[in-house]
Amino acid sequence: MRVMSLLALVVCIGCTRPPRGAVPPQPGLIGPSSRPVLVPPAEVIREVPRTDAQWRVVGREAAGLLSQYIAINTTNPPGNELQSATWLKAVLAGEGIESQIFEPRPGKANLYARLRGDGSTRPLILLNHMDVVLTSPEYWKVDPFSGAQQDGYIWGRGALDMKGEAVTQLMTLLTLKRAAVPLKRDVIFLATADEEIGGGVGAGWFVENHPELVQDAEFLLNEGGIIRADRTGRIEYYGVGTTEKSPFWLDVTARGTAGHGSRPTPDNPVHRLVRALNRVAAYQTPLVPTPVVERYLRDLSTIETDPTRRAWLADVRAALRDSAAVRFLTGDLTYNALLRNTISITGLAGSDKTNVIPPVARAALDVRLLPGQDPRAFLSDLVRVVDDSGVAITPQGPNWAATQSPTDTELFRAIVAAARQRTPDALVTTPPLTGFTDSHYFRRLGIVSYGLSPFPLNQAESRGVHGNDERVSLENLTFGVHFVYDVVSRVVAK
């Protein structure tokens, strides 16, 4: 209720119709309590913004669009991304940008738009996913699909991951078009389905079924980066995603003899599975300092204030021979995951009746492999660890080797320049992701793909990703639209 009364005060004062560049809220999708604050048409910037005041107007326009976008519930499953694709198509059409919607399955869609350059250099893709993860509204301070603008924030599922990032890409496209910036490359805007569930009909489907629309690209920007700020908002570093670990998800299956729970059998498959999992849980995978992780930790050492830790991070290979350093490095969830292949036992299934011994028991392992690791070699190590021929370990589906993009590129230099313009002497580093994004589909086509986060976030704000009370501040959104425009225009403008 607090949200409703506050919005009633701020909604659309003096504005009777939606501005160009925004579309009216669609009936049934956006409730009156969450109607976004829209920028009046006369105020929409139709040139390349030059002043902070102009960027603040662009930021406010972005906030209005983000509120609308959040209010389209694309929780996956089922996703219903056709609704959001239709909305994006209308926003783009409002500026005269044509787009195509591909609907591989009813209600599931991908949107593709291409702003034409003179073709003298290869295109740049702005990639974003439209689906969002599940929410538990009872733990939220606001309706997660309200898109409420309150306390200087735009609230809702997707505000960070990744509808907020998508809006910074969208505003970049709109700004290039409105200002008629001459382009040396095409700029492709690709909004996809099914990123959050993997293996669906999103980026992977698009690359497989319409490679002709993307494979000529040289560069791609996607989620998977980070701008780390401290509690005061000071930027500590800009992290560009150039590589990510690869998932190698496994099923563990034990078979035995079914029976009545009152008469134990010697080959109860649940017992067998538990013994196997016990060995898996105790298994310490080797610590492997890969070159990309060594470089990232060395970068971080330059901003580490504690002298002992600074020395460990600066030379992680040496640090791994020191037990105190190993305790520090493996005690940090991220460092630990970056220094080894990891195994999390996640799924378990035995009997659904307490008095029945099942014929089969299963577990699922979430395994993540470092770049350069051979999945088959990892699997044989695990089979050796389990050491039970009655227990089968099998990959859940196709897997891929970790992919990596080089940093000696025009796009990387543009990111560094844009970062340094805002934060002189900024550390620009390349944190590998422990998870993965859709970038690997494009890296495998030879497209240089970077994770670029447009928002400076502190640790607490980052927790909104897949968590409760996800939100982005208007200040960060404004920073983000300016930053992404700056990076993109440096590589696409003539």
The binding site for Zn ion (CB under 5 A) comprises 161-162, 223
Q: Report the SS3 class of residue 433.
A: strand
Q: How far is the CB of 162 from Zn ion (least distance, A)?
A: 4
Residue among 117 and 200 whose Cβ is closer to Zn ion: 200
Q: Report the SS3 class of residue 493.
A: strand
Contacts of 360 (CB under 8 A, 6+ apart): 253, 254, 255, 256, 269
Can you tell me the distance from the alpha carbon of 469 to that of 472, in angstroms, rounded to the nearest whole number? Answer: 10
Residue among 59 and 224 whose Cβ is closer to Zn ion: 224
Region class of 189: left (phi > 0), else alpha (psi between -120 and 50), else beta: beta
Can you tell me the distance from the alpha carbon of 221 to that of 325, in angstroms, rounded to the nearest whole number? Answer: 35
Residue among 18 and 431 whose Cβ is closer to Zn ion: 431
Residue among 161 and 299 whose Cβ is closer to Zn ion: 161
Q: How far is the CB of 400 from Zn ion (least distance, A)?
A: 18
What is the DSSP pairing of strand 259-260 with strand 391-395?
unpaired
Residue among 95 and 223 whose Cβ is closer to Zn ion: 223
Can you tell me the distance from the alpha carbon of 432 to that of 451, in angstroms, rounded to the nearest whole number? Answer: 10
Q: How far is the CB of 129 from Zn ion (least distance, A)?
A: 6
Which residue of the chain is nearest Zn ion when measured via CB?
A: 161
Q: How far is the CB of 93 from Zn ion (least distance, A)?
A: 26
Can you tell me the distance from the alpha carbon of 228 to that of 240, in angstroms, rounded to the nearest whole number? Answer: 11
Q: Is the dihedral of CA 255, 261, 267, 270 positive or negative?
A: positive
Residue among 81 and 186 whose Cβ is closer to Zn ion: 81
Q: How far is the CB of 161 from Zn ion (least distance, A)?
A: 4
Q: How far is the CB of 223 from Zn ion (least distance, A)?
A: 5
Tokens of 292: 């990309």
Q: How far is the CB of 466 from Zn ion (least distance, A)?
A: 9
Can you tell me the distance from the alpha carbon of 161 to that of 154, in angstroms, rounded to the nearest whole number? Answer: 13
Residue among 285 and 437 whose Cβ is closer to Zn ion: 437
For the chain, the distance separating the N- and C-terminal CA atoms, rounded to the nearest angstrom, is 50
Residue among 115 and 162 whose Cβ is closer to Zn ion: 162
Can you tell me the distance from the alpha carbon of 63 to that of 58, in angstroms, rounded to the nearest whole number? Answer: 9
Examine residue 78 and say whether the peptide bond preceding it is cis (omega within 30 degrees of 0): yes
Q: How far is the CB of 158 from Zn ion (least distance, A)?
A: 9
